[in-house]
Amino acid sequence: MTGSGRVSVVIPNWNGEQHLPMVLGSLRRQKYRDFDVTVVDDGSTDRSVAYLESEWPDVRVVKQGRNEGWASAWARGLEVTAGEYSVIMNNDIDFDDDWLQALVDELDRDPKLGFVTTKIVFQDDPDIIYQAGLDFYDYGRADTRGGMEHDDGRHDQPSATTAATGAGSMFRRAAIDAAGGIDVDYWMYCEDVDLGLRILLQGYRGLYLPAPVGRHVGGATMGKFPDVQRYHFWRNQLITLVKDVPGPILWRALLKAWLYNVHQYSHERDGGETKLIRKAYVDFLKALPQTVAKRRRVQRSRRISPAEFRALLHTEYPFPTRVPRLVGQRK
């Protein structure tokens, strides 16, 4: 699975020795064979590297040396691979045997397709959806479509998606390069949303397929660190809003963005997590000058109009508020 395949698979790994047989076994069973596999080990302290070198000599192993974050591992994997199509994949997932072939076929069919993702369910309960694409709201909310819902057929049609999950998706490498690659400052969470939005701004589109299906353990690594997850989600969600949403859309959505953050802060307050969220907001503000500089680069290079981009987003405000007309709230 090493070499220079048409498809390059990148798997970030941190202390995931127990899960690697699952994801690598899934890749070995794929019907599509023109691919290479790179595991970027992000400073694991378990036997991940020794296991890979002993049991999977046909897999390229890149050692980060220390834990530099999931986004950094993904970026490093892109640096050392050269496939026309690039797959990002968690270490705790497996896919149907025709997964690679189906996604390659879609990207071959449409040169303006930037990324493809598929339905992913939970491995221990395949009737529950992990993700069925992603919806992004103009005020900064990134909503995993179908997350934690029963798989009752509502997500069984191909559809547009504004991003492709880092748990397991395929990208056109030219689209990643045009968008400027992975932003390693995210460290973890929302880096896939950020990349998806920047690819859309380049005039590509994203596609969700209901099949073939992936089965994800979910939280196998970072589920042990919920505070780390929550902090990065709230900080990075705000960074993504400021960085990627064109000005005319952003200004119109500021009231909704403020209401959304008040709503979510109140929810976190009920759970006793306000200190953590306040730190996320403070660190977002500290990073604001850098984020604005990135925003200038992103917006200068975009190839579609704000109106075209807005058409790809959700603009309604789905939470209770006393100003429904002003925020386009659903009735």
The string of DSSP codes covering 81-93 is ---SEEEEE-SSE
Q: What is the pLDDT of residue 327?
A: 67
Domain locations along the chain: 226-327
Which of 245, 221, 199, 272 lies closest to 17, judged by CA? 221
In order of 87, 146, 173, the CA distances from 98 in angstroms are 14, 23, 21
Q: What is the pLDDT of residue 169?
A: 98
What is the b/e burial string over 195-232, where b = at least 16 CB atoms within 10 angstroms of the residue's CB? bbbbbbbbebbbbbbbebbbbbbbebbeeeeeeeebbb
What is the SS3 assignment for 259?
helix
CB-CB neighbours of 105 under 10 Å: 12
**DSSP codes of every residue in 172-183:** EHHHHHHHT---
Asked if 136 contacts 243 with a C-beta cutoff of 8 angstroms, the reply is no
Q: Inter-axis angle of helices 191-201 and 226-244, to 10 degrees?
A: 20
What is the SS3 assignment for 49?
helix
Both structure tokens of 314: 């959700």
Residues 6+ apart with CB under 8 A from 275: none
Q: What is the pLDDT of residue 275?
A: 83
Both structure tokens of 23: 């994801």
Q: What is the pLDDT of residue 222?
A: 47
- Enumerate residue ranges in the chain where pLDDT < 50: 220, 222-223, 331
What is the sign of the dihedral through the CA atoms of 103, 104, 109 and 112? positive
Residues 6+ apart with CB under 8 A from 122: 128, 129, 130, 215, 216, 217, 218
Q: What is the pLDDT of residue 271?
A: 60
How buried is 153 (Cβ within 10 angstroms: 0-12 exposed, 13-18 middle, 19+ buried)? exposed
- CA 227 to chain CA centroid, Å, is 19
